[in-house]
Amino acid sequence: MSDTAPAASAPAEPPQPEQPSKNALKKAQKDKEKAQPVVLPAEKKAAAKARELAERSKKDAADAADVSANAYGELPLCGSTDFKPTGKARASLADVSENEDKEITFRCWVENARVQSAKLAFLNLRQGLSTVQAVVAASEKLSKQMVKYCGSISTESTLVVTGLVKRVQEPIKSATIKDFEIHIKELFIEVKADVPLPLQVEDAERPLPSDAAAEDDQKQEEGAERPLVSLNTRLNNRTIDLRAKINQSIFVIKSGVCALFQEFLSKRGFILVQTPKILGAASEGGANVFELKYFDRPAYLAQSPQFYKQMLIASRFQKVMEIGPVFRAENSNTARHLTEFTGLDLEMEFQENYHEVMGVLEDLMLFIFKELNARYRKETELVRGVYHIDDFKLPESGNVPRIPFKEGIAMLREAGEEVGDYDDLTTPQEKMLGRLVLKKYNSDFYTLDQFPLAIRPAYTMPSPADPLLSNSYDMFMRGQEILSGAQRIHDSTLLASQMRKHDPPVDPESAGTKDYVDCFRFGCPPHAGGGFGLERIVQFWLGLPNIRMCSLFPRDPQRVVP
Amino acid sequence: MSDTAPAASAPAEPPQPEQPSKNALKKAQKDKEKAQPVVLPAEKKAAAKARELAERSKKDAADAADVSANAYGELPLCGSTDFKPTGKARASLADVSENEDKEITFRCWVENARVQSAKLAFLNLRQGLSTVQAVVAASEKLSKQMVKYCGSISTESTLVVTGLVKRVQEPIKSATIKDFEIHIKELFIEVKADVPLPLQVEDAERPLPSDAAAEDDQKQEEGAERPLVSLNTRLNNRTIDLRAKINQSIFVIKSGVCALFQEFLSKRGFILVQTPKILGAASEGGANVFELKYFDRPAYLAQSPQFYKQMLIASRFQKVMEIGPVFRAENSNTARHLTEFTGLDLEMEFQENYHEVMGVLEDLMLFIFKELNARYRKETELVRGVYHIDDFKLPESGNVPRIPFKEGIAMLREAGEEVGDYDDLTTPQEKMLGRLVLKKYNSDFYTLDQFPLAIRPAYTMPSPADPLLSNSYDMFMRGQEILSGAQRIHDSTLLASQMRKHDPPVDPESAGTKDYVDCFRFGCPPHAGGGFGLERIVQFWLGLPNIRMCSLFPRDPQRVVP
């Protein structure tokens, strides 16, 4: 131990793990047959505890004779002692190849630890998306006591490790770092993990059970050793579940989509805005809105920033974007609906034709896809690999297929589907059209333009080409909608009249709409925009089976915890 | 008119303006004496309308003889006719100096228009933060009818103008573009603004009445010609109010702070996350929380992302940031409280000492201030100019004053203030300390460290130096708090025990806290973080008198509209 390192306390009595939950106990029993020494069935716990304590006392007595006495043990709770920081650089495992034959110190956590013999223990250590094999070998300078201690650390404990980076002869299959291993010199437990874990991280790395098995934890994946864990169990233990590399990757990509969205639009003069989420009156018809108590009156959660982003165009902001929560009180229990999701919204004035805005939206998404492939390839491949998902196909020409709704209907009819000229498409029809478009245009991304007026919101600009159509569009990924947008009516007289004619009618004089309608009386320029569902972009980019996987703590009609 | 330009309809009958609101009428009457021909008192409206119609009929009849007949008028509602875009480039007024003696076409809106003589009219035109003077002069190629039409356009109407950029001899005082004017060749009204406006944009450019006058619209600013308009009147007409250059600048800066926050932290490995805003149980004690109906059960709006961002650290995300709404059901009617504001939150693991995190926070803010000065100087100066605000002082050494709370107390006592060792500071004391720090360290930005434990949340790590203090900190701008942060307890046993001992006590087993407390049982690394109030950063950077000016559509106990 270097003399600048923190003084470790003598390994203390481990805290008594709290009573495991029912689920955890069931899980632990199922795992009995598995050779994971840290997942102890409940009935063995007391015995194990006694054994551990006995060993600890022995160790305390033997410390004087232990040549490694200062090289391992438990650190005091960080921040609770007035210790001077060592300032010792902490290494990143991602850079391990640059440190061959050097000694590094790094924080990591334990994927698993096992005693091979009295003289040898192995640990799989993880930091971020990297995992590395570490060896603890007894020698004149490293005691057998330390070997035993290191090989018995509970899974998911956080460590500070010092060791030599050594090249290995044979690639290590079980780690992401294949060509190097760590020869441990010092190992301190910084934060010990309780046993048993309520969910194994390695189970969270595996795919969800298929739809048929979704409700049945017991069902085995073909050829798999252990049953796949249901989404509900994972979400109930989300802070463990999220530790899986697949989940870390999903949320790195989600963060990336937000960054790319802003990067592209900022360069084009968009400013980021925050519109209110608490509304004094329900807007946009008032259906599917959550009501709250606002001091002594009712108020409502915004179901989209639609009215406000348009009011900002009327306020001369020209181009605005927003990333914010969107709340929908819809009792939809599907794999692609959430009651709270993240909207990527934009609204902009245009000069002559709303297709200018569609062009911006298409270029935006092409930019995001291209940069996801460039900057987030590792994460994308890691996730798609688990589910065996095809690459996301983009048109080679760079021209996003922009298909008139009428043509989409014709394609569906040609494929044998019965659908009216002005009907809304069902979800299966949308998916079928996605397959037809992929076949015809070789693109998983496309736009439908000129939707029927009757199935769009009242503020949608009617089409000059056909009064039953409108200047509106949806964007799709792998046959599923990710954006809905349109040219909006920027004249208050026409807007009020369209609202009254709409089915169901909207009262332009009501508390939730009057300010909105009135703002178009004072010279608002023509404008269009759209709203993306961020979680859907991530879901369909990766080809994931359920949108809940793309929300850190998803909300649906059944779930508001954790 | 070029043959590719859209065909203008013959100037149509202008839409009948809707009945103006009571406030608007009062306003219009007050404005009577002002030579603003477009703000018509109600009693003159009918006459004016008749006159206008008569003139229009005359114009229609004279069109054959009007050499400019195709060079002016009202465009049809954009998007409502199936017209092929001209694709004609639209110029930016910001680049006008590059187009000397060239013809440009641009969209703009009318600040004011006035007929000088039968042969000459002037318009002040605005686009973004730029304003330019435009001249319409009768000639063989430009009719007197067109001069009259152009000089009579209502304020805030949106236009498409084509004209020659000409250098002027004398700088033009009334416009931001001083050295050039536009000689108009074509002018089309794209969207006509109703008269009267409920609020004059030029009134929105002027400062708020001072505190004493805040409730009294009638009170005159010293030397001002017109009374200053109260904040309430402005906020009631927010979509007009926001058109003022001062307001546009405030929100460009606000957008900039968000971009800089993300730019700095992304480079340091933070990912952007979205934590849920709807919670199944009230957390953090449960006071000041909005309750909502969530299908058949109650739910609550998140009063901060605190628990969730820590749960993400426990989930091994290492460094997370969030930009999102924060909801506080506090009945605080002050100039620096909102019930809905934007939190800039971050949380990160650290290696040895929470001062690592304070260093990141200080560097982050120094970066933001430096880049605001560099990238948003124009907007900053424009806003500060209206309120005569001093520059924001930063320490020349680059070292942010990091003052132990104890030392802050000592400074206050030395200045004659009575305050106990472990007392919380009042707002006036904070402001006084800000003045003392400015005097001593020449910095408007500083940190207080090691706050008394009792006045911080239960999850705050106690200080190893003094059990009555804690590893926590606040950051201040101009003597007002912008961030609160701390090292958090990352051990579930200590956390539960601190919660029980806290005043008021928090039940670690309750629905709102159990998942949070339990997540620290499985190896969560030491971590710290903080939450900024975005609107406060903007307010104190600019030195604005009220935080509502920094929220597009502010929410307070009295206001949920528009």
Rounded Cα–Cα distance for residues A221 and A239 (Å): 24
Confidence of residue A6 (pLDDT cuts 50, 70, 90): very low
- Asked if A272 has any chain B CB less than 8 Å from its own CB, the reply is yes
Burial of residue B48, with CB atoms counted within 10 A of its CB: 0-12 exposed, 13-18 middle, 19 or more buried: middle
Q: Range of A147's domain?
A: 72-78+88-191
User: pLDDT digit string (tens) for A203-216?
Assistant: 999 999 986 444 44
pLDDT above 70 as % of chain A? 85
pLDDT at B286: 64
> Residue A491 corresponds to which tokens in the numbers above?
């004249």
Task: Please state, rounded to an integer, the average pLDDT across all residues of chain B.
Answer: 89
H helix or E strand, kind and range, residue A344: strand A340-349
The question of whether B481 is a catalytic residue gets the answer yes
Domain termination site, one of A212, A228, A243: A243
pLDDT at A276: 98
B521 and A17 in contact by Cβ < 8 A? yes
- Asked if B555 has any chain A CB less than 8 Å from its own CB, the reply is yes
Q: Which of B:190-209 have CB within 8 Å of A?
A: 190-194, 197
Write down the catalytic residue from B126, B238, B336, B548.
Answer: B336
Q: Does B538 have pLDDT greater than 80?
A: yes
User: pLDDT digit string (tens) for B257-290?
Assistant: 999 999 999 999 999 999 999 999 987 656 799 9
Residue A156: which of B193, B299, B523 has the nearest Cβ?
Answer: B523
Q: Does B421 have pLDDT greater than 90?
A: yes
- Asked if B298 has any chain A CB less than 8 Å from its own CB, the reply is no
The question of whether B478 is a catalytic residue gets the answer no
DSSP A402: E
H helix or E strand, kind and range, residue B51: helix B42-62
Q: How far is B264 from chain A (nearest CA, A)?
A: 12
Residue B290: which of A17, A292, A308 has the nearest Cβ?
Answer: A292
Write down the catalytic residue from A243, A337, A456, A488.
Answer: A337
| DSSP reduced 3-state for B374 | helix
Q: Does B213 have pLDDT greater than 60?
A: no
- Asked if A340 has any chain B CB less than 8 Å from its own CB, the reply is yes
Q: What is the mean pLDDT of residues B164-183?
A: 97
B109 and A242 in contact by Cβ < 8 A? no
B324 and A324 in contact by Cβ < 8 A? yes
Q: Does A51 have pLDDT greater than 90?
A: no
Residue B280: which of A493, A511, A560 has the nearest Cβ?
Answer: A560
pLDDT at A40: 37
Q: Is B40 inside a domain boundary?
A: no
Q: Does B10 have pLDDT greater than 50?
A: no
Q: What is the mean pLDDT of residues A455-467?
A: 96
A6 and B352 in contact by Cβ < 8 A? yes
Taking one residue from A and the other from B, the number of pairs with CB-CB distance under 8 angstroms is: 296
Q: How many other C-beta atoms lie within 10 A of the C-beta of residue A170?
A: 7
Contacts of B162 in chain A (CB under 8 A): none
At residue B454, what are phi and psi to the nearest 5 degrees? -65, -25
Q: Degrees (nearest 5) of the Cα angle B399, B401, B406? A: 150
Same domain, A403 and A503: yes
Q: Does A288 have pLDDT greater than 60?
A: yes
Contact between B521 and A193 (Cβ < 8 Å): yes
- Asked if A14 has any chain B CB less than 8 Å from its own CB, the reply is no
B552 and A194 in contact by Cβ < 8 A? no
Contacts of A534 in chain B (CB under 8 A): 274
Rounded Cα–Cα distance for residues B237 and A519 (Å): 9
Q: Does B216 have pLDDT greater than 50?
A: no
Q: Is A5 inside a domain boundary?
A: no
> Residue B463 corresponds to which tokens in the numbers above?
């200080």
pLDDT above 90 as % of chain A? 82
Same domain, A487 and A468: yes
Query: DSSP string of A208-277?
Result: PPPGGGTT-TTPPPTT-SSPPPPHHHHHHTHHHHTTSHHHHHHHHHHHHHHHHHHHHHHHTT-EE----S
Same domain, A267 and A411: yes
- Where do the DSSP E strands lie in B168-284? 180-191, 271-272, 278-279
Write down the catalytic residue from A205, A330, A340, A407.
Answer: A330
B315 and A238 in contact by Cβ < 8 A? yes
Rounded Cα–Cα distance for residues A280 and B555 (Å): 10
H helix or E strand, kind and range, residue B56: helix B42-62
Rounded Cα–Cα distance for residues B180 and B133 (Å): 8
Q: Does B47 have pLDDT greater than 80?
A: no
Confidence of residue A20 (pLDDT cuts 50, 70, 90): very low
pLDDT at B83: 72
pLDDT above 90 as % of chain B? 82
CA dihedral A512, A517, A519, A521 (to 10 degrees): -160
Same domain, B100 and B238: no
Rounded Cα–Cα distance for residues A203 and A197 (Å): 11
Q: What is the mean pLDDT of residues B156-183?
A: 97
Same domain, B232 and B363: no
Total tally of structural domains belonging to chain A:
3
Q: Is A40 inside a domain boundary?
A: no
Residue B316: which of A243, A340, A342 has the nearest Cβ?
Answer: A243
Please tell me which residue, A4 or B353, carries the higher pLDDT value: B353
Same domain, A223 and A368: no
Residue A240: which of B82, B252, B522 has the nearest Cβ?
Answer: B522
The question of whether A328 is a catalytic residue gets the answer yes
The question of whether B336 is a catalytic residue gets the answer yes
Q: What is the mean pLDDT of residues A130-149?
A: 98
CB burial string B117-147: b at 16+ within 10 A, e below = eeeebbbbbbbbbbbbbbbbebeeebbbbbb
Chain A interface mutation, best of B274, B313, B358, B497, highest count of A Cβ atoms under 10 Å: B274
Q: Which of A:240-259 have CB within 8 Å of B?
A: 240, 242-243, 248, 251-252, 254-255, 258-259
Same domain, A170 and A297: no
Q: Does A84 have pLDDT greater than 50?
A: yes
Q: Is A522 inside a domain boundary?
A: yes
Rounded Cα–Cα distance for residues B202 and B111 (Å): 9
Q: What type of residue is A218?
A: Q
Domain termination site, one of B243, B270, B304: B243
Q: Is A20 inside a domain boundary?
A: no
pLDDT at B60: 60
Same domain, A127 and A233: no
pLDDT at B242: 98
Confidence of residue B333 (pLDDT cuts 50, 70, 90): very high
Same domain, B156 and B267: no
Same domain, B255 and B115: no
Q: Spell out the residues 6+ positions from residue B136 whose beta carbon is closer than 8 angstroms to its own.
A: B120, B121, B122, B123, B142, B146, B147, B150, B151, B184, B187
Confidence of residue B55 (pLDDT cuts 50, 70, 90): low
Question: What is the side-by-side order of every strand in the sheet holding B319-327?
Answer: B271-272, B319-327, B340-349, B527-533, B480-487, B472-477, B445-449, B402-404
Rounded Cα–Cα distance for residues A199 and A240 (Å): 7
Q: Is B128 inside a domain boundary?
A: yes
Write down the catalytic residue from B234, B490, B536, B548.
Answer: B536
Q: Which of A:477-516 have CB within 8 Å of B?
A: 487, 490-494, 511, 515-516
Contacts of B85 in chain A (CB under 8 A): 351-353, 355-356
Contacts of A259 in chain B (CB under 8 A): 262, 266, 272
Q: Is A333 inside a domain boundary?
A: yes
The question of whether B330 is a catalytic residue gets the answer yes
Distance of CA B211 to the CA centre of its chain: 20
Q: Considering the entire predicted model, what is its pTM?
A: 0.89
DSSP A28: H
Please tell me which residue, B94 or A10, carries the higher pLDDT value: B94
Confidence of residue A513 (pLDDT cuts 50, 70, 90): very high
The question of whether B484 is a catalytic residue gets the answer yes
Contacts of A464 in chain B (CB under 8 A): 79-83
User: pLDDT digit string (tens) for B19-45?
Assistant: 444 454 454 445 443 433 333 344 455
Same domain, A497 and A432: yes
Q: How far is A432 from chain B (nearest CA, A)?
A: 31
Contacts of A509 in chain B (CB under 8 A): none
Q: Across chain B, which distance is largest between two alpha carbons, in Å? A: 92
> Residue A203 corresponds to which tokens in the numbers above?
């189970």
- Asked if B562 has any chain A CB less than 8 Å from its own CB, the reply is yes
Q: Spell out the residues 6+ positions from residue A29 whose beta carbon is closer than 8 angstroms to its own.
A: A41
Confidence of residue B81 (pLDDT cuts 50, 70, 90): confident
Nearest residue in B to A127, CA atom: B316
> Residue A22 corresponds to which tokens in the numbers above?
């029912």
Intra-chain end-to-end CA distance of chain A, in Å: 41
Q: Is B209 inside a domain boundary?
A: yes
| DSSP reduced 3-state for B334 | coil
Q: Which of B443, B436, B438, B447 is nearest to B481 (CA)?
A: B447
Same domain, A272 and A130: no
Confidence of residue A145 (pLDDT cuts 50, 70, 90): very high
Task: Please state, rounded to an integer, the average pLDDT across all residues of chain A.
Answer: 89
The question of whether A56 is a catalytic residue gets the answer no
Write down the catalytic residue from A336, A456, A478, A527.
Answer: A336
Chain A interface mutation, best of B84, B112, B239, highest count of A Cβ atoms under 10 Å: B239
Q: Does A397 have pLDDT greater than 80?
A: yes
pLDDT at B65: 86
At what angle are helices A355-375 and A377-387 packed, to 10 degrees?
90
Q: What type of residue is A33?
A: E
A78 and B490 in contact by Cβ < 8 A? yes
Q: What is the mean pLDDT of residues A512-541?
A: 97
Looking at residue A152, which CATH number applies to its domain?
2.40.50.140
